[in-house]
Chain A
Amino acid sequence: MTTYVGRRVMVAVLLVAGFAGSSVFARGAPEPQGAQAPANEAWQREFDHVCSRTQDAMSFSEEELVAFVRRCDALLPQIEKLDETRRKVYVGRLKMCRGLYAYVLESKRNEKK
Chain B
Amino acid sequence: MNMKRFAILALILAFCIPSLSQTGTKKKRPLPYDFGRVVINNYSENSELSPVVFQHWIHRSRFTCRVCHVDIGFGMKAGQTGIRAVDNERGYYCGACHNGKMTVDGKPLFAACSRKAGYDDQKRCERCHSLGKKVQSDQDFFTFSQPLPKERFGNGIDWEKSEEIGLIKPAAHLDGFTSPRRSLAVQKDFDLNPKVEGMPDIIFSHKKHTVWNGCELCHPDIFMGVKKGSSHYTMVDISEGKSCGACHVSVAFPLTDCQRCHSKQVQP
Contact = CB atoms under 8 A, between A and B. Distances in A.
Given A99-B221, A106-B226, A89 B185 contact: no
Interface in A66-97: 85-86, 88-90, 92-93, 96-97
A45 to B, nearest CB: 10
Interface residues of A, number: 35
A7 B179 CA distance: 60
A86 B96 CA distance: 12
Closest 3 CB pairs of A and B: A52-B179, A103-B220, A34-B91
B180 A48 contact: yes
A86 B176 contact: no
B59 interface: no
Interface of B: 70-73, 75, 81-82, 84, 86-87, 89-93, 95-96, 99, 175-177, 179-182, 184-185, 210, 214-217, 219-221, 226-227
A96 B70 contact: yes
Given A36-B175, A47-B179, A85 B220 contact: no
23 contacts: A31-B89, A35-B92, A36-B91, A36-B175, A51-B179, A52-B181, A54-B215, A54-B216, A55-B181, A55-B184, A55-B210, A55-B214, A85-B87, A88-B81, A88-B82, A89-B72, A89-B93, A90-B73, A92-B73, A92-B75, A96-B217, A99-B216, A103-B220
Contacts of A97: 216
Contacts of B220: 99-100, 102-103
A102 B185 CA distance: 20
A110 interface: yes
Contacts of A100: 215-216, 219-220
